């Protein structure tokens, strides 16, 4: 008997196709080039306290009021969203897309990938 799921793409990979996912290098270059994007860090307060990208807005994915804060953001702006590994930021990006936000970028691999490939959390 054949496994009917053998050729299916994992749900996580399907979700990633719905959003622009950028490597740390692409994320940094695109943010600097466009010069009008808003950085959103969706990690917890404890993670945020260990350091973040300069001038990032902190919106804790796990905190009460998370959805209320997102809902009030300007849908016309460009958002660069990140977390520790890229999963919470991907979920956040999908949610925002479903709410009508159109200019969204997700940091693939999150700040863990950034730190491994680029070092300190800086744009220089």
Extended strands (E) in the chain: 20-22, 38-41, 57-58, 78-82, 103-107
CATH 3.90.1170.50 fits 12-118, yes or no: no
What does the DSSP assignment read for 7-30?
TPPPHHHHHHTTSEEE-HHHHHHH
Residue with tokens 């997102």: 70
pLDDT tens track for 7-62: 566 766 667 778 999 999 999 999 999 988 999 999 999 999 999 999 999 999 99
Within 10 Å of residue 92's Cβ, how many Cβ atoms? 23
Instruction: Look at residue 106 and tell me whether its pLDDT is greater than 90.
Output: yes
Instruction: Look at residue 111 and tell me whether its pLDDT is greater than 90.
Output: yes
Position 5 scores a pLDDT of: 53
What band does 118 get if pLDDT is binned at 50, 70 and 90? very high
Q: How many helices (H) and strands (E) does the chain have?
A: 6, 5
What band does 1 get if pLDDT is binned at 50, 70 and 90? very low
pLDDT tens track for 55-99: 999 999 999 999 999 999 999 999 999 999 999 999 999 999 999
Alpha-carbon span 13 to 85, nearest angstrom: 14
């Amino acid at each position: 008997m054949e496994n009917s799921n053998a050729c299916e793409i994992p749900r996580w990979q399907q979700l990633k196709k719905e959003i622009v996912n950028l490597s740390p290098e692409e994320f940094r270059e695109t943010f600097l080039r466009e010069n009008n994007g808003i950085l959103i860090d969706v990690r917890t307060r404890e993670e945020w306290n260990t350091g973040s990208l300069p001038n990032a807005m902190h919106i804790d994915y796990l905190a009460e009021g998370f959805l209320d804060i997102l809902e009030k953001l300007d849908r016309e702006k460009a958002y660069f969203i990140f977390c520790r590994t890229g999963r919470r930021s991907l979920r956040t990006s999908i949610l925002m897309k479903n709410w009508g936000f159109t200019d969204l970028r997700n940091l693939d691999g999150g700040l863990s990938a950034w730190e491994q490939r680029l070092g300190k959390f800086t744009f220089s």
